[in-house]
Chains A and B, each alone.
Chain A
């Protein structure tokens, strides 16, 4: 089997497990839904100031739901020593990392696809910029969040109290992603005014660079995290 076929098999395994248990997707979705409701109470949706913080609310919802999913992604493997089985499979360790990242990305994108319309409807928000650009920007931010998130989730899974540890070690590290993603989203939501076009390009570049760095560094270090 080629490298990509193995990777596909590993992703397929994760999806099959998720469709059997449905514990990750449902809790992630309900959680992001709850975030919407909490923010609706915290900031009155009809006010103009709420429109300004909307990109931030969006990403807080995604990030918190994402952490919830990431926590499960390796903790679930620990339960019946599945991780050991995973490590015994005749694949390169990088494939295990990439497959986990890919399936986590799929799950978070699925949750975002459902909750994004809800955010718009419940906050009565009208999109000014092109939709494809918004989706592209959100995808870029989500990739950055997931690659480093998957890696740190694997790291945290080896510790006691990993579920508490993950948000504490993940959020400081993903600060650039949060800043970049919120800025990009805000500019796109405002309809990409010509004077902000340069800024948008700059933030997209920053997110791109972050994604490349934190996709390659974990590939080099993942062996160390998995060893027993």
Chain B
């Protein structure tokens, strides 16, 4: 089993880059970017909110691609990738759902609005939580990989339809539009740095989650071998 020891050197490199970029993005958010005229410091959460949101959607796109690749190739590494990416995506979605209300309380004067993007993110959170329930419900490895890949594909294809239906459903007036076009150039720089930093954080977490999942499966194999001997 020692031969399978994972090469963690790449992990350290990504970890250092992530740490550096996170510090840079903190600097960009709190010193470089100007204060927003009306929302003042509260608007700073926007950089983290968007950074997490972008990566949440990216993570779920990776789940979709990895699921399709798994069904095509039957290579378990894609299953591990999909599981890891879904896990990190669920974390980022949770961050989005936590930072959104904090920001919304200040700018819309309400914790929660059934605004299309927010609502879609919430349903997305439910779908990928369900993804883990599917995984938890199947013990056999190959079977779990197939079923979760199928659900990962269905869930991802559903997202655009959910977004459209929620947008048509809630015809609430938008009090404050967070359109990128209206951003101060220095705010935009800070946003870009923050998104890049979060992307590296995503890659780092994903690596760790994959290593963890691989180790878990190795452990399972060892346990099964032991059981056979006994």
Contact = CB atoms under 8 A, between A and B. Distances in A.
Interface stretch (B28-36, B155-163, B206-214): B155-163
A140 B134 CA distance: 28
Contacts of A202: 168
B150 A206 contact: no
B139 A175 contact: no
Contact of B150 (A160, A162, A179, A224): A224
B40 to A, nearest CB: 36
Contacts of B155: 172-173
A165 B134 contact: yes
A172 B130 contact: yes
Interface in A99-119: none
Nearest to B128: A172
B104 to A, nearest CB: 21
Given A160-B139, A162-B137, A165-B133, A176 B147 contact: no
A122 interface: no
Nearest to A225: B150
A40 B182 CA distance: 50
Interface stretch (A22-30, A75-83, A90-98, A209-217): A209-217
Interface in A155-172: 155-156, 158-162, 165, 168-169, 171-172
Interface residues of A, number: 33
Contact of B164 (A158, A168, A206, A227): A206
A169 B134 contact: yes
Given A165-B134, A180-B165, A173 B147 contact: no
Contact of A217 (B123, B127, B130, B157): B157
A221 interface: yes
A219 to B, nearest CB: 12
Contact of B162 (A152, A168, A176, A203): A176
Contacts of A6: none
Interface in A112-148: 148
B137 A206 contact: no
A72 interface: no
B105 interface: no
B151 A169 contact: yes
A144 to B, nearest CB: 10
A159 B134 contact: yes
19 contacts: A151-B154, A155-B150, A159-B137, A165-B133, A165-B134, A168-B130, A173-B127, A173-B158, A175-B162, A175-B165, A176-B164, A176-B165, A206-B168, A214-B154, A221-B153, A224-B147, A224-B149, A224-B150, A225-B147
Interface of B: 71, 123, 126-127, 129-130, 133-134, 137-139, 143, 146-147, 149-151, 153-155, 157-158, 161-162, 164-166, 168-169
Interface of A: 148, 151-152, 155-156, 158-162, 165, 168-169, 171-173, 175-176, 179-180, 183, 202-203, 206, 209-210, 213-214, 217, 221, 224-225, 227
